[in-house]
Amino acid sequence: MDKRFLQVLRGERLSPPPWWLMRQAGRYLPEYRDLRTKAKNFLDFCYRPELTVEATLQPIRRFGMDAAILFSDILVVPDALGQKVEFREGEGPALDSLSSAADFARLKPERLHDALAPVYETVGRLASALPRETALIGFAGAPWTVAVYMVEGKGGTDCGKIRGWFRRSPEDGKSLLTLLADATADYLIRQIDCGAEAIQLFDSWAGVLDDDEFRRHVIDPTRRIVGRVKARHPDVPVIGFPREAGALYAEYARETGVDAVSLDSAVVPADAVATITAVRALQGNLDNRVLVAGGVALERETRLVLEGFRDRPHIFNLGHGILPETPVAHVERLAAIIRDWKG
């Protein structure tokens, strides 16, 4: 069976478009909240295949998305490299932050695959467990975004520490991002080896950078990852998501080698269709707050996204991850609107 999600990533335009949602497995689902209680903490949850397989399958059973995305977290990579990573209830991730070249010289890329073996087991199990029509997406955080957490020690900052360091010592910045690019490529290649049919790179902190920083810290490492992955798996599509890249989305699409670009909600679909032409497909970009609101806004805005991308191969998604307070009924309604749309 030809999977609709993969058809679009090869450049086919389908109506209605295939769909999935970033963070489609998560706290908005009551069954996920029950499942989460079976692990002592979030990182423990991520390393238990019997739990992560179930978490990945839950939204597919409920809503029938065209793709499932591996349940994991972008910070398993620094954890696997030997940096201390914790997830504190009510606070989010906390890392022992890096502050010098000597700090990241102590990272251990050689332990990556052993540490991430439970993730690979999850991918392999999912490849067998998913419905035949459902594609499996593997993923990782892009080097810049992972480095933000590794240096800042947490999310939700202005990224001043890492930007200042990389400006004072560009070689340190390049060294850390290259190390992360190579580790990330190896991680994604192994996910594909285990059954992932497409991969997505999440660069959630791309929008804080100026144009020159964006090229050095986002485009260059992403190009390196895509090159390494394509050398091993030339036919596996890569989706890039440099969130809040603004006018630089088009350059990112041209210069990185990705097959598709996922767009945040600030992007006007008509502008993306006209300017981001170097990729086979576009993905996005309903505002996740609209999904929370539901009602008339959800009906209107969903159709505007569908209409806006109708002339390009398009995968329907959100502009960022689904929010924990999202009502399940609103996701059910979103699924119905997409499936009933005649573009």
Catalytic machinery residues: 23, 27, 36, 73, 149
**What are the two backbone dihedrals, phi and then psi, of residue 147, each rounded to the nearest 5 degrees?**
-65, -35
Instruction: List the structure tokens of 55.
Output: 């978490």
**Residues in Cβ contact with 102 at an 8 Å cutoff, skipping those fewer than 6 apart:** none
Position 36, amino acid: R
Cβ contact 207:245 at 8 Å? yes
Cβ contact 291:318 at 8 Å? yes
What is the distance between the alpha carbons of residues 296 and 299, in angstroms, rounded to a whole number? 5
Which long-range contacts does 309-313 make (Cβ < 8 Å, 24+ apart)?
309/17, 309/269, 309/272, 309/273, 309/282, 310/15, 310/343, 311/13, 311/273, 312/13, 312/273, 312/281, 312/282, 313/8, 313/9, 313/11, 313/12, 313/13, 313/14, 313/280, 313/281, 313/282
Instruction: List the structure tokens of 275.
Output: 């300017």
Cis peptide before 170 (omega within 30 of 0): no
Give residue 279's Cα distance to chain centre: 17
Cβ contact 319:287 at 8 Å? yes
